[in-house]
Every structure is written in structure tokens, then in C-alpha cells.
Structure 1
Amino acid sequence: MPDVFHTQKHDTENHHCTLPGEPWNLLAKFIETGIFVELRRKLKRWLMISKSHPYTRVYAPSISRLKSEVQRHLIDHYGIIHPLSIFSLYFNFLVCFSFIVQYITAPISYAVHKDLKHLSYFLLPINILIFFFIIVNFFTGVYSVNDNVVIMKPKQIAKSYAKSYLILDILGYGPLVLRMLKVRGMISKKTVHHLAPIMVLLRYFRYIWCLKVLSIARLYFGFSNFKFYFLKLTLNLVVINVLAIYMLYTCLPHSSSNFSVGSFLKHADATMQVIMMVNHGWYIEKAGRTFGPLLSVLFIIGGFCFHLVVLVEVMSIWFRYSSAENRQARVFDSVMAYVSYRGIPTVIKKKVDIYLKFKYKGTFYKESAVIKSTSNFLREEILLASTKNILEKVDLFRNIPFDLKLKLRTSMTTEIFLTDDVIFRAKSIGTTMYFIISGSVLVTSPFNEEICYLKDGCHFGVSALLLKMSRAVNIIAATPCEVCKLERNKFLEVLKGKPRLISDMEIELSTKILEASHRTLKSDFVY
């Protein structure tokens, strides 16, 4: 079974389940012969969607949805790298780090290196990595955060990349090409110093992408909002200052002999003074009667904007410090402090922690505030969207009119169960039917013999809606799971105008129970 799917109590290798559905180990069907089978499977899993990716819980929040995406990937797009894979995640981290190193060091290197051949060697590892990054982009799917869709078709991937960063990534190799031409004597050093700065600036457009990757890294490693925005502000300040120094240095006239470390440091000192608004830029004005003062004014305006941006970013950090995520942390800490104060055992403390994390999933919301701020109609719409198609999977409900199904869905409530929680026991009288929204449950006989597992999308307890009979099995949460509950009294209230329909369903249900009693294994329909 792939590690990406494995959770506690999912291991059912010795159980021959009669429930419909594909086996979990889909990858074994595609890689089952040849040499190094296990190694090839591990490498392939690195290229498939992973539960560890921060966006996976948004794109595929349930095990069923995750399984469907793996199936789509392996069958329809086997040779494509999934954008929510571990390989894509770590490769983007590596490329992002390389870009940031280049943003900080490359302008200084371009300015002070007299030997262009040594400069090429210095930047060679980063340029090779970015070359591979361009190639990999043509074989990696695209995840749209806004639309919550994954594009896996090669033509659409190429089209999406061409519309975004392809041209800028290629033009970013301009300085390398110019240096190679200079080494061969095809262009002059002066031409390189005039054209290279423009090519260098083009690669800075990738900085927006780097910030997005850093946001993903924050979610993946679990950094707080406060630490992340402080790091981002510091990084922005460093990159902006280095870029401003480089722009000033390349804009002012030089003779070939003046391209030196000392000259660059003088311009760095002048640039920092103007940006920090402690000087008017006398060194800049020496560049010329017209061009120098104009450049000085532009840098003073830039310094003002720089101060304004810093102020806005600091205020943003402060507001985010008191944002929902930090309120969530405070609520969690308060709950755990209360549990500790009451002397609750460690086992229950862990269950409380798991419950809070499963319910809020890294975010925080106040349920009472949501109810007060939304209308009844809007709350019903939200409930209908979250329970879409779950009643259509119940064969017994096939003759219920669509409008009554909508009423049934709005009558449901949700509940969360943690691992090993008993949802109901055999021989108890049931009054509720359950629909699994996420997670999985274990079905056992009255003698605690394992029967099978039910995952998200399945239902159980339908007999409790129509017949006053004891439960046939035990249902225990195998993983933290969220279920929708439909009570018998609400079910009968919605269908009170359809006595014939209720009678037909009772007869059909009784027939199925009688048939199931002659089999060793109970059907999911009866639970």
C-alpha cells in the first residue's frame, strides 16, 4: 500500500472485502515486473500527488478524492510530474533558494568581476539548475489555486508556462550569452556592461514566484505568520537595496578602468544614504549636470516609497500577528491549559489536540459568529454544497423526489469522531444513519471480528431510519473522521406526505435484511 494513503488501521491485506471499489495499491498495477520494482515505485511516488503537500488538503481533502487523482494521473498522464508531488515541492524550494541567492549576489558579481570567465564559473551551478528548471516545467502539471484545478495535459502545461515565465526565464540567460560572446571577442566589454543590466533585471520578475514558494514553505514547515512576514520583509529590504545599488552603478557613466570594487562600494554608500533619506545624493549629482540631479531626484522619490512600503509591511505584520491563525493558537493554548489544570490524563490531552487540529485544519473560525453573520438561506446553501450527491449513493432513496432529498440534506448535522471512538455498538437500538465525509471507519461483528473498512463516500445505519431493530455490527472510527447524521424523526417528518413511498422502502429494506441474514458477511446497505 502506498505510504501516501497509509493511516492507522488501514492495513487490510489479509481481509477479502466484498465492497465495490478499486484496491488502494494502484501503483502496483503499473509497476509490477522488471528490475528494481520497489525502487521504481518509490521514485514514482515522489512524482505523484502527496498528502504532505500543503495544497493537497485543499485540492483533495478526502481519501476518496486523493485516490481518484492518483488514478487519473497514472492512467491518463503517467509521464507528467504532479504539481502537488514531493518532488515538485522540494525542487521548487531548491530553485527558489537559488534564485534568491542570485538576486543578492549576482548584481554585485556582475559589477565587480573584471574577469568574465571567472564570473561565468561562479554563476555556472545556478544557471545549470535554472536550465533544468525550464525543462522540468514542461513536464510538470499546473495547479490553479483560484480555480482549485490541476492541469496535466502537455499542451495546456506548455501554454500556461509560455504565458507566464518562459520568455523571462530564457532571456535571463542573456548575461551568460553576452559573456561568452565577449570571451570570444565578438562584442566589446562596454557592450556587455550596457546590455547585461537589462538582462539581469528580467530575472527579477521571478521574485514574485519565489514569494509564493516561500508561502508554501511556511505552510509545509509550520512557521507562524509572524515569523514568515518578518522574514519576507527582511528579504524584500535586502533585495530592493542590492537592486537599487546595482541600477545606480550601471546607470552612471564609467570608463572601463572604473569598474572596480571601490567604485561599486562608493555607489552603494551613496545609494543607501539617498534611500534612507539622510542625504540628497551629492555623489550621484557628480555624474552630470542634467542626468545626475535627475537621477538623484528619482532615488529620493524611491527612498520615500521605500520608507512607505516598510511602514505598510510592519503594520501588516502587526495585523497578521493578531489574525485568525494566531487567535487559533491562543484558543488551542487556552484549551490545553484548561485540560492540564483539570488534571486530565495524557491520553485524553492528545485526543483533544487531535480533535482541534482535525476540526480546524490549520485555520480558525468561530462557529457562532458564522451563524450570526449568515442568513438561513445561505447556511442551507453551504450545507447543500458540502453534502452534494451523498444521498444519490443510497440505493434505497432512489425513488425519493429531488425536492425532498434537498430537505433531507438540510436536516443533517455533522459530528467528528477520533480514532478508536465507538460510533455505535452491535445490539443497540439505532435512530440515526451516517454518511462519511472524510476519514474511515472499521466494521466489526458483535464478537469484535473485523469485517471491513468503510471510507469517505460510504454510508451505514440506513435500517435505523425505517425499522426499530438492533444494530447488527459495531462501527468504530479507524481514523479521525467527520460524518453527516440523518435522524429518524427528521427523515419521517420530511416524508410524512409520502406514506406509500415509506411503505415501499420498508418492504425493500426488510427483504434485503432477510437476504443478508443468510450470508456470513453483512452488506453496507444494512448497517
Structure 2
Amino acid sequence: QSRYYPPGDSVLPPGFELKRSKVKYFLLKFLLISPTNHRTLHYLRGTKHINKQKAEHLASGHWYIAHPFSKFRTCWEIIMAVTFFAAFMVYPYNFGFGEGMEMIHFDHRLGSRRLILDIIRALFGIFLLDIFANFITGIYVNNTKTFIMEPKIIAKRYLMGFFWIDLFSSIPINDILLYGIAQDISPEVVVLAQSVTLLKILRLKTFLRYLRQIIQMLQVEDAMIEEVLIAFVLLIIFIQWMGIAQYVVARALGYDHFKCYCFSGAVLRTYIIVVIMDLFIKYTRAQYDYLAMLDHLQSFMSHKKLPPALQANILMKFEYSYQKRYFREDRVLSTLPAILRMEIKDFICRPLIEGINFLICLPEDSKYDIIVQLKREIFLPKYVIIRAGARGDYMYIIRNGTAKVISRIGKEIRKLCDGDFFGEIALVAEDSKRTATIIAEDICEVYRLDRRDFEVNVLSNPTAFELVKNVVAERLRETMIEEEKHLMEE
């Protein structure tokens, strides 16, 4: 029965229509690129690019070629990940404990060996299907960010790659030996023939790629957990192969088992140590970079013979900025699009301006402009941020830290902490002079707003202007009262 599938269907790209059987429509759902595939979301940005890829796939005429980011390929890679793991566990067992023709000519007492042979037959069948699947699956070229969907090119690349390894390691050796060869074949020939299946270990990298994709599909966001899971799977495979190897070596060369146990145990310990060290180095790289940069900084200060107090301040600033994890903030941010960089700054700075009455009343576009123009600065303890009597061209908002306000006569008026602001008086006063000195008591992280941006966004807004005038008047009155109290006490 035919059915008409109009343009704009969720499966078909815009401009394409399908008037065929339900079977083809069902197949296309699994063969075309899937918008929900995690690799699609990573490599293709937006519905436009996905529909373009679908259109190119259908226009090529090779609709039967499975897209590498299709639902079919996702399901098949999950199946193959399980199959590869089973092969890595069973194939060495078959090779090491097959005992030549004894493994082939089992009797009713060898139930476990019968099970192994049945599993091997199933694995051979799946691997032969995988060879066929590789011939009808497109290829994503990471270097050029393109897809290869031409059957001839796909076949050529596969034939020049893993095809022969896949073919020879997928030949059902046990059944061939059992049904197609004379019964008096030597055990050595059987073992040699069975060793061909061990070529499948060359596909370990492919297995790990499938395993990573499964972990990503499960939305495991912690990279450390991902690496630990992969290391654990590799450890299981390694133990299996080393266990078989120690038996095979002992049988072939006459080593006693104790020596083999010692050797394989030493290799296993070495592997575990290497894996742990690799994970440790990978996830403490930022700390290592921090220590290396700290060493360079100390060498520089020593070479320049800077005074101890200045060295202490430099080290304090360095430690506060990087928190024992060195990174290039500018380089990290440069990898992000402008809209994400702005979202990060908005997340940091919006709570600051929303705590100030003459800024929160501004329209959204003015708030946005202020957030964009805010500049981050860090002041160390005892540093003078602004000095009384100096010209003021900035106001500051404290994000972290504590500072004290000192009047012109040296009297401490108040303390400022997270969310407080200062310096606005000079931006409103006619003489633009600072009326107090602000000194950092501990490390202060502040955001600076320039005079020009203050005038454009605050002073030009009548409501904000009235509010800031009230704040200035209240602070001047408070300063005057404190100074008068101090003079009376003297």
C-alpha cells in the first residue's frame, strides 16, 4: 500500500517528498542522519545543517547507505561493542585451552566447551554481518568535516583498511576443522588456525571508540568517570589475556606455573600503576601547570631581586587568580562564541548591579550595556583603591573582599564588603574629587565602571539620577557627621 509523505515531514528534509511503500519510509528513519544522535549535536550546528545533510544523502541516490550518525549505526555500534568485548574474552580462551582437536571433537561431557563453541559461532556470524554493515555505512572524515556516502569510495577505504583483518578473524575455524578437514590433523595446525582469531585484538581501538560513544549517550558528564570506566574494561581484558598467556607460555616452554604467575603479576601491577598514573596526570594537569608557572615566577622575582614584601604580594595575587590551577582565561574564553561569553559575564555581574538601587531601576538595555562595560580588577590587602582628593573617573562594585572607608582627616567611617559600591560621588560631584580613601583589608575582587558609561546609562536616566543623588547626599552627610565626632573627641 502506497502512502504520500509530504515535504517538511520530520524524517524527510524540506523540499523532499516520498510516495513509496511504508517499508522505504521506515528504512529512511533508521538510515538518514538522526537529529538526536549525540554526534550530530556535536558536529552539526542546527536543523539547517541536518536537513542539508539529509538532502545531500537523498540526492545522491544512495539512500540505502546508512549515515554514520543514523539510528541504525548507533544501534549497530552498541551491538558491536558487546560483541567485541565477548570476543576479547572468548577468543583467547579458545586459543589457550582448546587443546587442539580435543576442543573441536567434544563429547556430551564437555558442556562448557560446547557453550564456548556456540558463543564463538554466534560471534563469527555477527562479525560477518559487521563486514557487510561496514560496506553500507558512510564515513565521517574528521579532518575535512565531510561525509563520504559514495559506495565505491566506502568499499575502497574499507578494503584498504580493516577488511582483511575482519575477514580472516571472522572465519569459523572450528567448524571448518570439524566438518571440512581430515580427522587426523595435528593439534599444532589446529592451534595455529585458531590463533588467526586473535587478530581481532587489532580492533581494540574501534571497540574503545564504540565504548566512549555509549558512555556519551548515557550522558556521563564527568570525564573522570568516563576514563575510569574505560580503564576498568581494559583491565578486565588485560587480565584475561595475561591469564591465558601465562598458561600458554608454561605449556609451550616448560616454565613452571609459579614463574609465570610472578611474571604475569608483575606485568599486571605495572599496567595498573601506569593506568593510575595516566589518570592522575591527566586530571591534575592544571595543578602541574600551576606549579610550573609558580616556579618560573619565583625564578623571575629572584633574578630581579625584588623586595620580600613585593614578592609576597605578587605570590598572593597569583594564588588568588588561579586557585592552584593554572589556565589561560583569555584563551579559554576565546574558544567560546560571543553570546556564551556574554552569558558568563551576565551570570557574574548581574547580581552586582541588581543590589544597587540606582542601577536596578534602569531599562534592560542599559543594564546590559553596563554589564558589558564592567572591568574586573583585583586589589591586595593594604592597597589604596582610591585616595581622597584625587580626581575620580570610576566607581567600583565589590564582588569579593572587604575594604575600609577612611575620611579626609584619617577617621575610619565604615567597612565595605561583598555587593557594596563606592566611588560614585566623584562621578556626580562638580569637581570630580574623591571625598574619602578606600583601602583593601583583604584581597578585593572589584568591577569598575568608567565615567563615560556611568554618564550615558545612569545620569541620563531621570529616575536613576535622582536615586544616585540621594545616595551621594546620604553618604556625604554620614561622612560629615563622623568627621565632626572625631574633631569633638580631639
TM-score (norm 1): 0.47
Cα shift readout 1:413-457 (whole Å, capped 9, x = no counterpart): 98679xxxxxxxxxx9x99xxxxxxxxxxxxxxxxxxxxxxxxxx
Percent sequence identity is 18
Per the alignment, residue 95 of structure 1 pairs with: 80
Distance 1:370 1:216, change over 3 A: same
Per the alignment, residue 312 of structure 1 pairs with: 274
Displacement of 1:322: 5.9
Whole-Å Cα distance in 2 between the matches of residues 86 and 34 of structure 1?
Answer: 21
Q: Which of residues 166, 177, 183 in structure 2 aligns to 1:181? A: 177
Whole-Å Cα distance in 2 between the matches of residues 249 and 193 of structure 1?
Answer: 17
Displacement of 1:134: 0.3
Q: Is the 8 A contact 2:33 2:69 kept in 1?
A: yes
Letter in 2 for 1:159: K
Letter in 2 for 1:371: D
Displacement of 1:100: 0.6
Per the alignment, residue 486 of structure 1 pairs with: none
Structure 2 residue 81 is the aligned partner of structure 1 residue 81: no
Displacement of 1:229: 1.8
Structure 2 residue 56 is the aligned partner of structure 1 residue 56: no
Q: Is the 8 A contact 2:127 2:170 kept in 1?
A: no
Per the alignment, residue 172 of structure 1 pairs with: 169
Per the alignment, residue 499 of structure 1 pairs with: none
> What are the residue-to-residue correspondences of 1:217-366 with 2, within 5 Å?
217-223=214-220, 224-253=222-251, 271-277=260-266, 303=267, 306-321=268-283
Distance 1:125 1:57, change over 3 A: same
Displacement of 1:165: 1.2
69-78 or 314-323, which moves further after superposition?
314-323
Q: Is the 8 A contact 1:197 1:250 kept in 2?
A: no
Q: Is the 8 A contact 1:96 1:210 kept in 2?
A: yes
Cα shift readout 1:100-141 (whole Å, capped 9, x = no counterpart): 112112322343343416454331111111110000100000
Per the alignment, residue 141 of structure 1 pairs with: 138
Distance 1:51 1:34, change over 3 A: closer
Q: Is the 8 A contact 2:90 2:120 kept in 1?
A: no
Whole-Å Cα distance in 1 between the matches of residues 91 and 328 of structure 2?
Answer: 51
Q: Which of residues 153, 156, 160 in structure 2 aligns to 1:156? A: 153
- Say which SS state the counterpart of residue 147 (structure 2) adopts: strand
Structure 2 residue 196 is the aligned partner of structure 1 residue 199: yes
Whole-Å Cα distance in 2 between the matches of residues 61 and 46 of structure 1?
Answer: 21
What is the number of equivalent residue pairs in this alignment? 288
Structure 2 residue 330 is the aligned partner of structure 1 residue 371: yes
Q: Is the 8 A contact 2:34 2:69 kept in 1?
A: yes
- Say which SS state the counterpart of residue 33 (structure 1) adopts: strand
Per the alignment, residue 19 of structure 2 pairs with: 33
Letter in 1 for 2:200: R
- Say which SS state the counterpart of residue 206 (structure 1) adopts: helix
Whole-Å Cα distance in 2 between the matches of residues 31 and 132 of structure 1?
Answer: 32
Letter in 2 for 1:211: L
Letter in 2 for 1:91: W
Cα shift readout 1:348-394 (whole Å, capped 9, x = no counterpart): xxxxxxxxxxxxxxxxxx9x9442679xxxx6xx89xx89xxxxxxx
Whole-Å Cα distance in 2 between the matches of residues 143 and 372 of structure 1?
Answer: 29
Letter in 2 for 1:205: L
Displacement of 1:41: 2.5
Displacement of 1:250: 3.6
Cα shift readout 1:228-286 (whole Å, capped 9, x = no counterpart): 2222222222212222333343445569xxxxxxx99x85x754432223xxxxxxxxx
Letter in 2 for 1:233: A
Query: Which protein shows a greater Rg?
Result: 2
Q: Which of residues 103, 122, 127 in structure 1 aligns to 2:124? A: 127
Structure 2 residue 96 is the aligned partner of structure 1 residue 111: yes
Letter in 2 for 1:164: G
> What are the residue-to-residue correspondences of 1:306-455 with 2, within 5 Å?
306-321=268-283, 369-371=328-330
Distance 1:309 1:120, change over 3 A: closer
Letter in 2 for 1:245: G
Q: Is the 8 A contact 1:226 1:320 kept in 2?
A: no
Per the alignment, residue 292 of structure 2 pairs with: none
Letter in 1 for 2:223: N
- Say which SS state the counterpart of residue 224 (structure 2) adopts: helix
Distance 1:62 1:275, change over 3 A: same
Q: Is the 8 A contact 2:136 2:151 kept in 1?
A: yes
Displacement of 1:25: 4.8
Distance 1:78 1:66, change over 3 A: same
Whole-Å Cα distance in 1 between the matches of residues 163 and 177 of structure 2?
Answer: 23
Which ranges of structure 1 fall in alignment gaps of 5 or more residues? 1-12, 14-21, 256-262, 278-302, 325-365, 388-411, 418-427, 432-527
Distance 1:96 1:373, change over 3 A: closer
Alignment RMSD (CA, Å): 4.0
Whole-Å Cα distance in 1 between the matches of residues 9 and 133 of structure 2?
Answer: 29
Letter in 2 for 1:93: I
TM-score (norm 2): 0.50
Letter in 2 for 1:226: M
